[in-house]
Amino acid sequence: MAVQERLVRTRGIELWTEEFGDPAHPPLLLIMGSMAPGPMWPDGLVGRIAAGGRRVIRYDHRDTGRSTACDFAAAPYTWVDIKDDVLGLLDALGIERAHLVGHSAGGLLAQWVAAERPERVATLTAIAASPLGRGEGEVLVRALMGEEQPSGSLPAPLPAFTELFAGAAAAPQPATRAELVELQVEAARVLHGTALPFDEEAQRRVEERLFDRARDPWAFGNHRRAAGAAPGCEPVGALGAVTAPTLVVEGSHEPVKPGHGARIAAEIAGARLHIVEGMGHTLPEEAHAELAELILAHTAAGPPA
């Protein structure tokens, strides 16, 4: 299988990209979540999708992995910029229209692009995501602060998630590679959910590899600063403008955004919701075959890219 790795310059920054499969096949862009680099899309899942006849592209967001590590104090940015990086990357790669597959906050970014620039999106797949413009960030903050959620808000995360991240916020921040790796392993354990076995040592190897490959392994925290720089920047009520065929995927044991997938599907005309049994908020090996089959079927049924 052809693999091409390169740095792409767009919008004044460099984005690390990696492509799999035949360049002549329909392009499919994988968008990872907040603070997460492209290789968080597991090789096994990526390979299955590429083998099914897609030109699969994964990339590092700014301030993650091998992409530009920004000086946030000198040149602050917001999540609008991170969203616009998606379009900038497509432009730099010469792709007019792509299948977008986003995980977690990457699923929200994919919705945002699909709502604003429908001509650029062949199909939309949102995995473990919250609906655009429905105050996901506020829900998480209230949960971490122990505040009651108002009527009509998105469902709150499960207690295991709240306890872990509230405790991490109150504790001294990690200062060494080992401390950060251990924190990430514990976070991954909770995000993994309770239904499937969690391989702690394999996850530790993943986190060590991600730390070592990053230009600045501490820069990912700028994503939180970007969210605080422009709270409420997501458009409200925009999902009605999404015209791309839409697949929404949620795990049966989602600990962070339980029930959020149904909210996305309810707001996008014709959207289909699929629940993956046993999956939490991560992309476990046990789910790769099912996820790849879902994505390939969905992107085959949509309009040509």
Half-sphere exposure of 152 (CA within 13 A, CB side): 1
Tell me, rounded to whole angstroms, the distance of Cα 205 from its chain centroid. 21
Question: What average pLDDT score do residues 217-221 get?
Answer: 96
Q: What angle do CA 264, 268, 273 make, to 5 degrees?
A: 55
User: How many domains, in total, are found in the chain?
Assistant: 1
pLDDT digits (tens, 9 = 90+) for 47-89: 999 999 999 999 999 999 999 999 999 999 999 999 999 999 9
Question: What average pLDDT score do residues 273-302 get?
Answer: 96
pTM comes to 0.96
Q: Nearest 10 degrees: CA dihedral of 217, 31, 130, 253?
A: -80
Output the pLDDT for position 165. 85
Specify the pairing of strand 121-127 against strand 246-251. parallel
Output the pLDDT for position 141. 86
Indicate whether 304 pLDDT > 60.
no
pLDDT digits (tens, 9 = 90+) for 224-246: 999 988 888 999 999 999 999 99
**What confidence tier does 302 reach under pLDDT thresholds 50, 70, 90?**
low
Answer left, alpha or beta for residue 158, where phi above 0 means left and psi between -120 and 50 means alpha: beta
Output the pLDDT for position 98. 98
Give the integer Cα–Cα distance in Å for 103 and 87: 17
Give the integer Cα–Cα distance in Å for 107 and 130: 7
Give the integer Cα–Cα distance in Å for 42 and 192: 14
Indicate whether 172 pLDDT > 70.
yes
Indicate whether 213 pLDDT > 80.
yes
Indicate whether 301 pLDDT > 80.
no
Indicate whether 191 pLDDT > 80.
yes
Query: Which domain, by its residues, includes 75?
Result: 3-301
**What confidence tier does 303 reach under pLDDT thresholds 50, 70, 90?**
low
Diameter of the chain measured on Cα atoms: 51
Q: What angle do CA 71, 85, 34 make, to 5 degrees?
A: 70
Q: Is the dihedral of CA 22, 24, 26, 29 positive or negative?
A: positive
CB 230 within 8 A of CB 80: yes
Indicate whether 305 pLDDT > 80.
no
pLDDT digits (tens, 9 = 90+) for 98-145: 999 999 999 999 999 999 999 999 999 999 999 999 999 899 889 888
**SS3 sequence of 206-255:** HHHHHHHHCCCCCHHHHHHHHHHHCCCCCCCCHHHHCCCCEEEEEECCCC
Output the pLDDT for position 166. 86
Output the pLDDT for position 97. 98
Output the pLDDT for position 250. 98
Question: What average pLDDT score do residues 159-183 get?
Answer: 92
- In CATH, what number is assigned to the domain containing residue 69? 3.40.50.1820
Mean pLDDT score across all residues of the chain:
95
Give the integer Cα–Cα distance in Å for 85 and 15: 9
Percent of the chain with pLDDT over 70: 98
Output the pLDDT for position 1. 63
Percent of the chain with pLDDT over 90: 89
Radius of gyration (Cα) for the chain, nearest Å? 18
